[in-house]
Amino acid sequence: MAEMLKDKDILTGMLFVGIGGAFVIGAADYGMGTTRRMGPGYFPVMLGLALALVGLVLAARSAIRRRPDIIGRLYLRPVVSLTASILSFSALINTVGLLAACMVCTLVAGLATSETRYKEIILVAIAMTAFSAIVFTGLLGLPMRLWVQ
């Protein structure tokens, strides 16, 4: 049974039921209207129910078949490092500026794999920071400040 809980179809099915259900609950207050004059809630509720149904069928079919296709290992290191790298960019871009955001973003991204080498990633960070400052703010003129005034 524990095996079946790691089955790809069952996990996907549960995910679909969850997402569909969340949209149905969220849309319940929006006003259904009639088929002729649909309210803002009509279409999302229908889609959400359909999604939940698809999820149920997917999970049920796999539960009946009982031949689990186990989900592959989830590697947290790249996911966590890259998420952190983006969040650090988002935190720094408005407070300090592009130069800091690029440097930190690249360096944090470097944590995602054990293949990274210290000297190399620092060089990449400097190069990408210079490239972004020159190309994105200079040539393309994107409205970003380089450093806090």
Partner 1 sequence: MDALSNLGLGFDVAFSWANLAYCLVGVVLGTLVGVLPGLGTVTAISMLLPFTYGLDPVGALIMLSGIFYGGLYGGSTASILLNLPGTPAAAVATLDGYPLAQQGRAGVPLFMSAISSFVGGCVGLALVMVAAPAIVSIALEFGPAEYFSMMLLGLLAAAMAASSSLLRSIGMALVGLLLGLVGMDVVSGMMRFTFGIPIMAEGISFIIAAMALFGLAEVMTNLEPHIKRGTPRRIAGWRAMMPTRDEARRSIGAILRGTGLGAFLGALPGAGPTVSSFIAYTVETRVSREPERFGKGAIEGVVAPEAANNAAAQTGYIPTLTLGIPGDAVGALILGTLIMHGIAPGPRVISSHPDLFWGLLVSMWIGNFLLLWVNIPFIGVWVKILSIPYRILYPAIMIFLCIGVYSVANSAFQLILLAGFGAAGYLLTKLDCPASPLLLGLILGPMIEENLRRALLLGRGDPMVLLESPISAGILFVCAALLLWTAASSFRRKRDGAVGRTESGQEQSWNA
- Which of positions 77-136 make contact with partner 1 (CB under 8 A)? 77-79, 82-83, 85-87, 89-91, 93-94, 98, 101-102, 105-106, 109-110, 112-117, 120-121, 124-125, 128, 131-132, 136
Nearer of residues 1 and 35 to partner 1, judged by Cβ:
35
Give the side-chain half-sphere CA count within 13 A for 7. 21
The whole-angstrom separation of Cα 112 and Cα 80 is 8
Residues 6-45 that bind partner 1 (CB under 8 A): 8, 11-12, 15-16, 19-20, 23, 26-27, 30-31, 34-40, 43-44
The whole-angstrom separation of Cα 121 and Cα 113 is 11
User: From the CB of 1, what's the least distance to partner 1, in Å?
Assistant: 20
Per the DSSP assignment, residues forming a β-bridge with 38 are 33
What are the backbone angles phi and psi of residue 99, rounded to the nearest 5°? -60, -50
User: From the CB of 88, what's the least distance to partner 1, in Å?
Assistant: 9
